[in-house]
Amino acid sequence: MDFEEDYPSTSREQDCRLILESDRIWPPSVRSVNRVRFERALLTVLRRLPDDVFQLVESDVSFVVDEGKFHALNVPFSKMLPLKNYTGTINWRLDQIVIFNAAFQLSDEALVGLVAHEIAHSVEQQRDHNENEAAADALVLKWGFERELKALRDGAL
């Protein structure tokens, strides 16, 4: 799979790059094999998400990539809150998607399906676990990741 072709739009492409170059992926400044694979999978998903979901990811989602070598991570997100001393009520939600080391046993295609599925959980929030999983997968299919979702479900984790 070639991740460098098929640009949906210039501005989307720029926005994707900004997310990849930001501190939204933790830990920052890691250049490992797993990290490169994750960033390729994320870029593939970001390029193809509907605009409203892309905007949600831009504003409300960050990623933590476990490489298997860290004991612990302190991932800051409070600095993204609007105002440090704001005293009003802010209904703020930031999802942190944690990609565990075991995910890197997946194929590249399944990894794309996994990232899309986890992002879908930021959109779909059903109370029942099974309903939530089904709703997330339905969204992933709607977004056009049928092949990648199948690769994820067929691949053993």
Residue nearest to Zn ion (CB): 133
Q: Which CB sits closer to Zn ion, 107 or 132?
A: 132
3 vs 155: CA distance, rounded Å: 21
Q: Which stretch binds Zn ion (CB under 5 A): 23-31, 53-61, 74-82, 128-136?
A: 128-136
Give the DSSP letter of residue 155. Answer: S
| Residue whose entry in the numeric block shows the structure tokens 């193809």 | 48
Q: Which stretch binds Zn ion (CB under 5 A): 36-44, 59-67, 96-104, 129-137?
A: 129-137
- Name the residue nearer to Zn ion (CB basis): 25 or 119: 119
Which of these segments, 29-37, 46-54, 56-64, 130-138, binds Zn ion (CB under 5 A)? 130-138
The pair of three-digit structure tokens given for residue 82, joined into one six-digit string: 């609007």
Please say which residue, 15 or 133, places its beta carbon nearer to Zn ion.
133
Match 């990232």 to its residue by tokens: 115
Those residues with Cβ within 8 angstroms of residue 46's Cβ, 6 or more apart along the chain or in another chain = 12, 15, 16, 19, 54, 57
Rounded Cα gap, residues 41 and 1, in angstroms: 11
The site map against Zn ion for 50-89 (x = CB under 5 A) is ----------------------------------------
CB 29, min distance to Zn ion, A? 29
Window 133-152: residues binding Zn ion (CB under 5 A): 133
Shortest distance (Å) from residue 59 CB to Zn ion: 21
Q: Are strands 25-26 and 61-65 parallel, antiparallel or unpaired?
A: parallel
Q: How far is the C-alpha of 36 from the C-alpha of 60, rounded, in Å? A: 22
Residues of this chain that bind Zn ion (CB under 5 A): 133
